[in-house]
C-alpha cells in the first residue's frame, strides 16, 4: 500500500515510512450533506486502515458549535448521516467532540497548549476553520478553536494527523507544541483540495499563503453552488459538471480535472476519457495540458464516473 500516493504533503515522509502502525485521526465538523471533496480524505483513511493503522474519526460537534454551525444535538444528528456514508468506505472508529470535552484533562491540555502559543500564531491558524482572521475578532471562542484542535491530537494520542491542505496550520502547531511539552509529535498527512466548481475568480492582489487560498476557494458546503453533494442525483451531477469552471489545457485550480485526478482515478479508476483509459493522473495531466483531451470530453467522463461512484455510496 503506497501511503504517499495522492497526498499533497506529508510532514515528514521519513517519519511516516518508519512507522509500524499507530493511531491515525481526522476530525470533521458534522454538517449534512457533505460534498465529494470529503471523499478524498475518506479513501486515504481507508488506505491507512488497510495498512494496519487504527483509524479514529473525531466528529467535532464542539468545534462546529463554536464555528456557528448549529447546536450540539443537531450536529450529532448530522454526524450520524456522515458516518452512514463513511461506513460504506470502511469501518472506522468514531469519537464525539462533546464527549471528550466533558473530561477536565482535555481543558488542562487546552490551557497548556495555549500557554505555549502566541496570539499571532492562533490568528494565522483560522483557515483551519474556514475563516479569515478578521472574522474571528468579535467572538473570542473562535480563537480557542485551533487550540482545541491541537488538544484533540494530544488527548487522543494521535500518531498521524490527517486532513486536507487547509488543515495544515493545526498540525504544524501540534508538532511545535509537542516538542515544547514533551508530547508525541504527530506526523501530518495533507490530502489535496478540490477547488470550487466556479473556480477561484481573479486572485490578483491577494498575496495569500497557500492554505488560505485553499480555504477561500475550495469546494465548500457553505457555498452550495461550489459543490457536488453526496446526495445529488444523476441529473444534478451532470448539470453541475457541465456548468463547472474547466479552462482548456489548464489543470491548476480546475475542479473538473481535480475530481478526476484526486478522486476518480485513484479510488474509482480507471477513468475512460474520449476513448482512452487513464489509471494514472500524470497521463491525464499531460493529455489535458497538450489539448489531446478537451474540457468537453473531460466533463463527460467525470460526470459519468462520479454518478457511478455516488451510486455506490447511497
Ligand X SMILES: Nc1ncnc2c1ncn2[C@@H]1O[C@H](COP(=O)(O)OP(=O)(O)OP(=O)(O)O)[C@@H](O)[C@H]1O
Ligand Y SMILES: N[C@@H](Cc1ccc(O)cc1)C(=O)O
> Is the separation of the CB atoms in 67 and 145 below 8 Å?
yes
Nearest residue to ligand Y by CB is: 27
Does 43 bind ligand X (CB under 6 A)? Our answer is: no
Q: Does 60 bind ligand Y (CB under 6 A)?
A: yes
Q: Tell me: does residue 56 bind ligand Y (CB under 6 A).
A: no
Beta strands in the chain (DSSP E): 9-11, 23-28, 54-59, 93-96, 160-164, 187-191, 271-273, 276-278
Q: Which is nearer to ligand Y, 214 or 245 (CB)?
A: 214
Q: How far is the CB of 117 from ligand X (least distance, A)?
A: 21
Q: Cell numbers for 246, please give them.
A: 474547466
The string over 2-11, giving b where at least 16 C-beta atoms fall within 10 Å of a residue's C-beta and e elsewhere, is ebeebbbebb
Please state, in angstroms and rounded to a whole number, the distance separating the CA atoms of residues 208 and 177: 25
Closest distance between ligand Y and the C-beta of residue 84, in Å?
A: 19
Residue nearest to ligand X (CB): 164
Q: How many residues bind ligand X (CB under 6 A)?
A: 19
Residue 29 near ligand X by CB under 6 A: yes
Residues between 190 and 249 with contacts to ligand X, criterion CB under 6 A: 193-194, 218-222
Q: Reduced to 3 states, what is the DSSP secondary structure of residue 194?
A: coil
Residues 49/87, Cβ–Cβ less than 8 Å: no
Stretch that binds ligand Y, among 21-29, 99-107, 206-214, 295-303 (CB under 6 A): 21-29
The C-alpha cell 464555528 sits at: 67
Nearest residue to 195 via CA among 170, 220, 223, 221: 220
As measured in angstroms, the least distance from the Cβ of 237 to ligand Y is: 23
Interface residues toward ligand X, by CB under 6 A:
28-29, 35, 37-38, 40-41, 130, 163-164, 166-167, 193-194, 218-222
Interface residues toward ligand Y, by CB under 6 A:
27-29, 58, 60, 63, 128-130, 149, 152, 167
Amino acid at each position: 500500500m503506497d501511503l504517499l500516493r495522492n497526498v499533497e504533503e506529508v510532514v515528514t515522509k521519513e517519519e511516516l515510512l518508519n512507522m509500524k502502525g499507530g493511531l491515525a485521526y481526522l476530525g470533521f465538523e458534522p454538517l449534512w450533506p457533505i460534498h465529494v471533496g470529503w471523499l478524498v480524505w475518506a479513501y486515504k483513511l481507508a488506505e491507512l486502515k488497510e495498512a494496519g493503522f487504527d483509524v479514529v474519526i473525531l466528529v467535532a460537534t464542539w468545534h462546529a458549535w463554536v464555528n456557528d454551525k448549529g447546536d450540539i444535538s443537531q450536529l450529532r444528528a448530522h454526524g450520524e448521516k456522515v458516518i452512514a456514508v463513511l461506513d460504506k468506505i470502511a469501518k472506522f472508529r468514531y469519537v464525539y467532540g462533546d464527549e471528550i470535552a466533558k473530561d477536565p484533562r482535555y481543558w488542562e491540555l487546552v490551557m497548556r497548549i495555549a500557554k505555549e502559543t502566541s496570539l499571532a500564531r492562533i490568528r494565522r491558524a483560522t483557515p483551519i476553520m474556514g475563516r479569515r482572521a478578521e472574522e474571528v475578532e468579535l467572538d473570542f471562542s473562535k480563537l480557542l478553536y485551533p487550540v482545541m484542535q491541537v488538544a484533540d491530537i494530544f488527548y487522543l494520542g494521535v500518531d498521524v494527523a490527517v486532513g486536507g491542505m487547509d488543515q495544515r496550520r493545526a498540525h504544524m502547531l501540534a508538532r511545535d507544541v509537542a516538542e515544547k511539552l514533551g508530547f508525541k509529535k504527530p506526523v501530518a498527512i495533507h490530502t489535496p483540495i478540490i477547488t470550487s466548481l466556479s473556480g477561484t475568480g481573479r486572485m490578483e492582489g491577494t498575496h495569500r499563503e497557500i492554505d488560505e487560498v485553499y480555504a477561500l476557494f475550495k469546494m465548500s458546503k457553505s457555498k452550495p453552488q461550489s459543490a457536488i453533494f453526496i446526495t445529488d442525483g444523476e441529473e444534478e451531477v451532470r448539470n453541475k459538471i457541465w456548468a463547472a469552471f474547466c479552462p482548456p489545457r489548464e489543470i491548476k485550480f480546475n475542479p473538473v480535472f481535480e475530481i478526476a485526478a484526486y478522486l476518480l482515478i485513484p479510488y474509482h479508476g480507471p477513468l475512460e476519457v474520449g476513448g482512452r483509459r487513464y489509471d494514472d493522473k500524470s497521463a491525464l495531466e499531460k493529455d489535458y495540458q497538450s489539448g489531446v483531451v478537451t474540457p468537453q470530453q473531460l466533463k463527460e467522463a467525470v460526470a459519468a464516473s462520479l454518478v457511478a461512484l455516488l451510486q455506490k455510496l447511497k
